[in-house]
C-alpha cells in the first residue's frame, strides 16, 4: 500500500518535468537557444527594475546633495557640472535597455530559424524515404512549430516589459532637471 502511494506521488511530481523534457525534445536544438535568450532577457529586465527601484533613488539623493553642496549654481561652469550630473544619471538609467531591445527581436528570429530547420527535416525525411512517411515528417513539423511558438511568446513578453521600462526611464529622465534646479 505504501509502495503504491510512493509510486503515485513520485509519478505525479515527475510529470511536469517529463513534459518539459518532452517539450524540449519536440522543439529541437533551436529551442535551447530561445530559452537562453529568454534567460538573458529576463535577467536584464529584472536588473533594470531593481536598479530603478533600489539604486536610482540613492543615486538621485547623492547627485542632488552634491549639487546642493555647490556654493554657486548660476555660472557657466556650474551649469556644465549640472549637465554632467544629469547625463550620468541618464546613462545609468538607460544602461541595459539597448541590450533588452536587441534580445526582444532576437527571440522570434531564433523561432524562425527553428521553423526553417524543422522544415528542412521534413524535406529530408521525404527524400530519404522516397515517399511521405508521416512519422518522420511529424518530428520536423513539431520542431518548426514549437520553436516558432516559443520565439513569439518570449518576444511578446519581453516587448511589453521593454516598453514599460523605456517609458519609466523617459519619465525619470524628464524629472531630472527639476531635481537639480539652478535657482
Question: With bands split at pLDDT 50, 70 and 90, how would you rate the model's confidence at 12?
Answer: low
Answer yes or no: is pLDDT of 19 > 80. Answer: no
What is the tens place of the pLDDT at every residue in 44-69? 999 999 999 999 999 999 999 999 99
Which tens digits make up the pLDDT trace of 116-165? 998 888 888 778 766 667 776 778 888 889 999 999 999 999 999 999 99
Provide φ and ψ at 71, rounded to 5°. -70, -35
DSSP 43-81: HHHHHHHHIIIIIHHHHHHHHHHHHHTSS--SSHHHHHH
Q: Cα dist. 33→55, 58, 106, 167, 176 in Å?
A: 31, 37, 10, 29, 39
Amino acid at each position: 500500500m505504501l509502495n503504491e502511494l510512493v509510486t503515485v506521488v513520485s509519478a505525479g511530481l515527475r510529470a511536469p518535468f517529463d513534459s518539459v523534457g518532452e517539450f524540449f525534445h519536440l522543439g529541437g536544438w533551436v529551442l535551447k537557444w530561445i530559452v537562453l535568450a529568454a534567460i538573458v532577457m529576463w535577467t536584464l529586465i529584472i536588473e533594470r527594475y531593481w536598479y530603478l527601484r533600489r539604486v536610482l533613488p540613492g543615486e538621485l539623493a547623492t547627485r542632488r546633495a552634491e549639487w546642493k553642496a555647490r556654493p554657486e549654481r548660476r555660472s557657466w561652469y556650474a551649469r556644465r557640472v549640472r549637465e554632467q550630473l544629469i547625463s550620468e544619471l541618464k546613462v545609468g538609467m538607460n544602461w541595459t535597455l539597448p541590450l533588452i531591445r536587441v534580445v526582444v527581436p532576437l527571440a522570434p528570429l531564433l523561432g524562425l530559424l527553428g521553423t526553417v530547420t524543422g522544415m528542412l527535416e521534413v524535406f529530408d525525411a521525404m527524400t530519404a524515404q522516397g515517399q511521405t512517411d508521416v512519422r518522420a515528417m511529424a518530428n520536423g513539423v513539431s520542431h518548426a512549430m514549437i520553436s516558432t511558438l516559443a520565439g513569439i511568446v518570449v518576444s511578446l513578453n519581453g516587448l511589453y516589459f521593454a516598453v514599460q521600462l523605456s517609458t519609466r526611464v523617459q519619465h525619470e529622465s524628464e524629472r531630472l532637471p527639476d531635481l537639480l534646479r539652478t535657482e
